[in-house]
């Protein structure tokens, strides 16, 4: 009985694997607090980790999330953004849980990008937080409630990148979405100033990862 299938994003590695909205939660309906799910992990080719892994599943902000145990699986199997996992239960095999992992083959799929916004920075953006422009494409962020974390790859117009993704904290302030924590680190490390331009977008078929392209216009 399949519970869910999901293409992984960077958020799944940083904040835990959030179960998709249309997951079949019947096998987990007894969940109260945190439960432990002893899970057999196997690849699409049928190879398995030598021992089952206990995944800790709990409710966070109204959603079920895999945390402890999930991070061990991601590390051991070498999961990355864009890979796909299927979590299911073998009802007639002792009702055991299984996680099937399939690594994406990015070499054979073109990159499709969805721009969320572009903005020429003002002194306010640099000093008080980057407020998203009124005509931003908010479809990829429509699930924002409170503050969400957006692991973001930062690159220059020439294609050079910061060595590691930066987690941008996005929250609603006076009816507008604003980048705060994480954004200040980017501005400092890249040397952004008023007048520079940033483009924030999502690579839809590359694990739905977020990217920020910066252009120094001075």
Domain definitions of the chain by residue range: 2-104, 108-215
- Residues 164-193 pLDDT 10s: 889 999 988 888 899 999 999 999 988 999
First to last CA, the chain: 58
Q: How confident is the model at residue 110 (pLDDT cuts 50, 70, 90)?
A: very low
Q: Exposure of 51 by Cβ count < 10 A (0-12 exposed, 13-18 middle, 19+ buried)?
A: exposed
**Does 108-215 match 2-104 at the fold level?**
yes
Q: Name every residue whose Cβ is closer than 8 Å to that of residue 69 and which is 6 or more positions away in sequence.
A: 36, 37, 39, 53, 54, 55, 56
CA 169 to chain centre: 12
So what's the pLDDT on residue 86? 92
* Architecture label for domain 108-215: Beta Barrel (2.40)
In Å, what is the CA distance from 26 to each residue of 17, 23, 39, 67, 150?
18, 9, 17, 20, 30
pLDDT of residue 108 exceeding 60, the answer is: no
CATH superfamily of 2-104: DNA-binding pseudobarrel domain (2.40.330.10)
Which range of 41-45, 138-142, 181-185, 203-207 scores highest in mean pLDDT? It is 181-185
């Amino acid at each position: 009985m399949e519970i869910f299938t999901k293409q992984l994003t960077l958020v799944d590695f940083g904040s835990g694997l959030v179960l998709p909205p249309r997951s079949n939660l019947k096998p987990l309906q007894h969940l109260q607090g945190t439960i432990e799910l002893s899970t057999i992990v196997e690849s699409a080719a049928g190879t398995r980790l030598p021992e089952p892994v206990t995944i800790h599943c709990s409710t966070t902000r109204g959603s079920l999330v895999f945390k402890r145990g999930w991070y061990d699986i991601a590390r051991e199997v070498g999961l990355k953004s864009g890979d796909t996992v299927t979590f299911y239960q073998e009802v007639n095999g002792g009702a055991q849980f299984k996680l099937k992992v399939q690594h994406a083959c990015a070499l054979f799929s073109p990159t499709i990008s969805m721009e969320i916004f572009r903005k020429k920075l003002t002194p306010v953006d640099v000093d008080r937080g980057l407020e998203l422009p009124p005509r931003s494409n908010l479809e990829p962020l429509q699930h924002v409630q409170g503050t969400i974390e957006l692991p973001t790859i930062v690159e220059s117009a020439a294609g050079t990148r910061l060595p590691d993704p930066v987690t941008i904290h996005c929250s609603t302030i006076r009816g507008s979405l604003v980048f705060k924590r994480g954004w200040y680190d980017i501005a400092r490390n890249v040397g952004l100033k008023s007048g520079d331009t940033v483009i924030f977008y999502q690579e839809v078929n590359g694990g739905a990862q977020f990217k920020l392209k910066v252009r120094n216009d001075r």
